[in-house]
């Protein structure tokens, strides 16, 4: 009789311990599962937030550096590039050339075909300008229908590039309102000189541009000593 009670107590204790262990394992598994799900949730949220932050950062970079219409560099970005080039010129005596290009009779196109068509012309011209750049060169939309180039070379090379570009634009018709239009551009070119500032260099290129406009447009005007 005493022995049977004793065996019963042993069976009961073993069952109790087993059930308790099962509950402990269940709680541990549940806790780890909850922790894993929570970690996964917050990791996903963090990754999404980081991805969104990166997209916003890229968007702000584009706004700060690119013209929204043409996709070319904007005036602010070009000023940074010009600063780098002037430092290279002063320290390493590395020459560079500025050119300002202007679409001929652009106001007339806008008046006849509307500003939306004018925007399409600017976009098409922007793509052509980019296709003629070499490594180290840059172009931006300087304002309105004006574009500013910087070429890391001497003036005769830049004149040759711009003359080929001018001829390509002249021979490439653009379709507006189911009508083929022939666009031309005029370019003023100036090479950096000793003691010259960026603003003086740009001013000189601008004078060459207006000289080209007065000479009948659709031309490339540089210094009198530079040859194509």
Give catalytic residue positions. Answer: 145
How far apart are alpha carbons 120 and 46 in whole angstroms? 41
Residue written as tokens 């068509």?
A: 117
Cα angle: 146, vertex 88, 64; to 5 degrees: 45
Q: Are 150 and 137 spatial neighbours (Cβ–Cβ below 8 Å)?
A: yes
Separate counts of helices (H) and strands (E) for the chain: 6, 7
> Which residues 6+ apart lie within 8 Å of 62 measured at CB?
none
- Characterise 22 by phi-psi region: left (phi > 0), alpha (psi -120 to 50), beta (else): alpha
- Cα dist. 166→121, 127, 129, 192, 209 in Å? 15, 14, 10, 22, 13
């Amino acid at each position: 009789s005493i022995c049977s009670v004793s065996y019963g107590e042993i069976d009961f204790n073993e069952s109790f311990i087993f059930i308790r262990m099962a509950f402990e394992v269940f709680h541990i598994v549940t806790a780890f599962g909850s922790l894993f799900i929570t970690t996964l949730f917050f990791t996903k949220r963090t990754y999404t937030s980081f991805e969104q932050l990166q997209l916003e950062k890229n968007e702000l970079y584009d706004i700060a550096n690119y013209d929204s219409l043409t996709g070319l560099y904007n005036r602010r970005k070009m000023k940074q590039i010009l600063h780098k080039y002037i430092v290279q010129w002063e320290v390493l005596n590395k020459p560079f050339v500025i050119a300002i290009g202007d679409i001929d009779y652009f106001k007339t196109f806008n008046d006849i075909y509307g500003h939306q068509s004018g925007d399409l012309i600017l976009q098409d011209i922007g793509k052509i300008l980019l296709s003629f750049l070499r490594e180290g060169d840059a172009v931006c939309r300087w304002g309105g229908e004006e574009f500013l180039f910087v070429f890391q070379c001497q003036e005769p090379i830049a004149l040759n590039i711009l003359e080929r570009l001018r001829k390509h634009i002249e021979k490439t018709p653009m379709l507006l309102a189911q009508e083929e239009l022939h666009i031309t551009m005029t370019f003023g070119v100036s090479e950096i000189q000793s003691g010259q500032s960026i603003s003086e260099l740009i001013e000189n290129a601008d004078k060459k541009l207006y000289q080209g406009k007065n000479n009948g447009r659709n031309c490339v005007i540089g210094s009198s000593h530079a040859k194509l």
